[in-house]
Structure 1
Amino acid sequence: MYQLTLDKQDFLNNIWQKKPMIFRQAFKNFADPIAADELAGLACEEEVASRIVVTQNDGKDWQVINGPFEDYDQYGEENWQLLVQAVNHWYPDSQPFVEAFRFLPDWRFDDLMVSFATPGGGVGPHIDQYDVFIIQGEGRRRWTVGDIGSHQQRGGNLTSPLIENFSPIIDDILEPGDMLYIPPGFPHQGFTLTLALSYSIGFRAPSQQELMSQMADYLIDENIGHRRFTSTTNAAGKGVVAQEQQLGMMALIKQLTEDPQYYQTMLGKLLSQNRFELDICEGEPVSAAELTDAIEDGAVLKRIGGLKVLLLENDLQPRLFINGEAFAFDAADAELAKQLSDQTEFSGDALQALHQSASLQALLLELLKKGWFYLADANE
């Protein structure tokens, strides 16, 4: 249903994480995957992360109000924008749209953010530290993008996401189906010209802080990493730490980061987590017999929106990482496990094959129990 018209290999070779670019009619005959009133309804839910940004003082200031929201009448007919995060978690009909971007790996995928904006609405000039594709739905928006470099935060406030105005290298209007790609570090700003729906597909990689924090937590939780620094070299001074000793201590950390037995579990758990809450399917646990009956009746096994099911290449153990947890499977089932990480739903022979594997059948029952997967009728 949603087919990107861009040359994906050329994009990955020449544009990805290198430069911003507009792609005209990236989606031909684009149809909004969600309506404005449905988006507004999602923002009324407490579990859903949402915010309204009101443009003030002739476009010089912005006020942020966090959801949930009961009504929108007070905001008028212009100069505000509603943003709803992780729409793919809560609105299953958006999944076909998300699938169009799975030529990039799932571990990078952050979420689908959808915005409804009135004329004059926007969030101000800012810089994101992740890759983002902005697809224009209904309406028209003007986008400006600046070059990467040193940019001052607005008003000298180091905690503000806003920056001072910048000189644009892109200044253009997006029409329905057009797409703007922005790599990390490039300042940008959207100006709404008419009532508009926009879709932001974000891709994020872990920071040094996140990696170090996760590594430390893993070492503590597993009670490993007790090796201490040793040295026979001393500095020429009672209060001096020799350069060689400094490097030797840091080498202890480097050894941990180069040994798969220390970093693989940490990475798998970190990369399979989500920043936003998932729409867990609550229900009664399914028995093996009930699963068998459901499959024979033509049921479809689906994963909930936003759930990440990851494999690590050359993992020391046969396991899947799902929502921050590790799940082992028999090595003989590696090919089936890869299908479980690649596909978001199963039916017919593909589901039967998973069910007939002893290790993966046990995993399916556990995933159903956790509410991360669910059974649906074939026509749903």
Structure 2
Amino acid sequence: MYQLTIDKDKFLKEIWQQKPVIFRQAFKDFADPIAADELAGLACEEEVASRVVVTQDKGKNWQVINGPFEDYDQYGEENWQLLVQAINHWYPDCQPLVEAFRFLPDWRFDDLMASFATPGGGVGPHIDQYDVFIIQGEGRRRWTVGDIGSYQQRGGVTTSPLIENFEPIIDEILEPGDMLYIPPGFPHQGSTLTLAMSYSIGFRAPSQQELLSSMADYLIDCNQGQQRYTSTSEPSQPGMVPLAQQQGLMTLLTALAQAPETYQAMLGKLLSQNRFELDICEAERIDAEELQQALQDGAVISRIGGLKVLLLENDAADRLFINGDSFDFAAEDRDYAEILANHTSIDSEIALAMLQRNSINALLLKLLELGYCYLAEAE
């Protein structure tokens, strides 16, 4: 079990999305949830997103090699770092570390990334457009963080997150159990001093591009958004588009964004999706009687790592959003739907009570069939 020692209320009021901060011993007696060799093994799998970053020219350039990998001998003993995304999807022992950050909403959670770095390893100075908590495991790493500002992208490559050097406002060495929080837009860089393991917990919100693209796809799929602009007066110049008409056209988009019956389904599906592949379980095709017997024997219902189960406040319909799809439930079963959304594991006693509700019973069987949940032994 991982227990954060920080004052969460103070963090949310004074630090969250405002400024970078180092928390010394955020986790007391921190133990790595995954060993370096296990991480290296995950990076050999085709389904797992991984990369090796090699530091070149004494820290002036970085080469990125995308996985999967067969071995790492070619990289030597210094100046490289292995990064593996979404290890919480593939390595269940990492889930307790994720749970420590569920004081923040699930819809923002992106993934748990783990890295193994040799001395001199790093990814270069860069800026992320999401919140990140960096927890130091085994070893020591030096982190520098700059202030928000206008920075030139390295080599003029506009699609790269790498930037030219920055003036640090934080320059500290992290020891095991220490944690660095960095909000979006603050430049930062990590340099490895000894063989080291570290963990990055990312929280991301959709961009305007993502929201507009998802809205457009949803409207097309549902054949909605057919209203057109009308006006009562026209310009005297045929080649002129008056400001009032520009604003009138854009008001059509504003109207969609202010209509819950239009945007809620899109938003729920978008926010419940994952950027990285999930480790879907083999489908458990059991009926209600078999599920009841398994629960009576003490089984628990657990969801797979990384699966998002979301409710929208004041939703126009009674539904859960799970991995980009919606699942209906009866209005009188909302309390049980909230349990499904808020708990990653449901013990046998509560699950047996849920089976007595027809809509939740059907939903549980569907989630087992889809491989989103599985039956596990109680700890």
Q: TM-score, normalised by structure 2?
A: 0.99
Contact residue 284 and residue 374 of structure 2 kept, 8 A: no
On the 8 A contact 2:140/2:174 being kept in 1, the answer is yes
Q: Which moved more, 1:287-296 or 1:13-22?
A: 287-296
Secondary structure of 1:364's partner?
helix
Structure 2 match to 1:259 = 259
CA distance in 2, matches of 1:211, 1:64: 30
Tell me the amino acid that sits aligned with residue 209 of structure 1: Q
1:214-363 equivalences in 2 (<5 Å): 214-363=214-363
User: Does the 8 Å CA contact 1:108/1:204 hold for their aligned counterparts?
Assistant: yes
The whole-number CA distance in structure 2 between the counterparts of 1:23 and 1:303 is: 31
1:36 paired residue number: 36
Amino acid at match of 1:355: L
Contact 1:140 1:174 in 2 (8 A): yes
CA distance in 2, matches of 1:284, 1:85: 27
Does residue 165 of structure 2 align to residue 165 of structure 1? yes
Partner in structure 2 of residue 21 of structure 1: 21
Q: Which runs of 5+ in 1 are unaligned?
A: none
Deviation at residue 297 of structure 1 after TM alignment = 1.2
1:144 corresponds to 2:144: yes
Q: Which amino acid aligns with 1:63?
A: Q
What are the residue-to-residue correspondences of 1:153-232 with 2, within 5 Å? 153-232=153-232
Separation in structure 2 between the aligned mates of residue 202 and residue 375 of structure 1, nearest angstrom: 28
Alignment of 1:46-61 (within 5 A): 46-61=46-61
In structure 2, give the amino acid aligned to 1:298.
Answer: G
Deviation at 1:348, TM superposition (A): 2.4
d(CA) in 2 for partners of 1:175, 1:20: 17
- Distance in 2 separating the partners of 1:236 and 1:165: 54
Amino acid corresponding to residue 90 of structure 1 in structure 2: W
Native 8 Å contact 1:233 1:245 kept in 2: no
Moved more, 21-30 or 228-237: 228-237
Note the C-alpha offset of 1:216.
0.4
3-state SS, counterpart of residue 230 of structure 1:
coil
- Contact 1:53/1:81 (CA < 8 Å) preserved in 2? yes
CA deviation digits over 1:22-76, x for unaligned, max 9?
0000000101111101100100100000000000011100000000111111110
> What is the distance in 1 between the residues matched to 2:106 and 2:283?
27
Size of the aligned set, in residue pairs, is 379
* Superposition RMSD in Å: 0.7
Letter in 1 for 2:321: F
In the aligned structure 2, how far is the partner of 1:163 from the partner of 1:79? 19
Inter-partner Cα distance in structure 1 for 2:165 and 2:233? 53
Moved more, 230-239 or 192-201: 230-239
Cα-to-partner distance string for 1:165-199 (whole Å, 9 max, x where unaligned):
00000000000000000000000000000000000
Partner residue in 1 for 2:120: 120
Residues of 1 paired with 2:284 and 2:176: CA distance?
A: 43
Following superposition, the deviation at residue 284 of structure 1 comes to 4.3
Separation (CA, whole Å) in 2 of partners of 1:377 and 1:339 = 19
Distance (whole Å) between structure 2 residues aligned to residue 96 and residue 272 of structure 1: 20
Aligned twin of 1:2: 2
> 2: distance between equivalents of 1:284 and 1:183?
41
Whichever residue aligns with residue 329 of structure 1, its letter is F
Which amino acid in the other structure matches residue 205 of structure 2? Answer: A
TM-score (norm: length of structure 1): 0.99
The whole-number CA distance in structure 1 between the counterparts of 2:151 and 2:307 is 35
Moved >3 Å (runs of 4+): none
Q: Is the 8 A contact 2:309 2:341 kept in 1?
A: yes
CA distance in 1, matches of 2:188, 2:19: 13
Per-residue Cα deviation, 1:222-245 (whole angstroms, up to 9, x for no partner): 001101100012113011111111
Percent of aligned pairs with the same residue?
74
Cα separation, 2, equivalents of 1:232 and 1:314: 37
Distance 1:75 1:286 in 2: 48
- C-alpha separation between the residues in 2 aligned to 1:377 and 1:284? 15
AA aligned opposite 1:337: A
**1:62 matched residue in structure 2:** 62
Partner of 1:375 in structure 2? 375
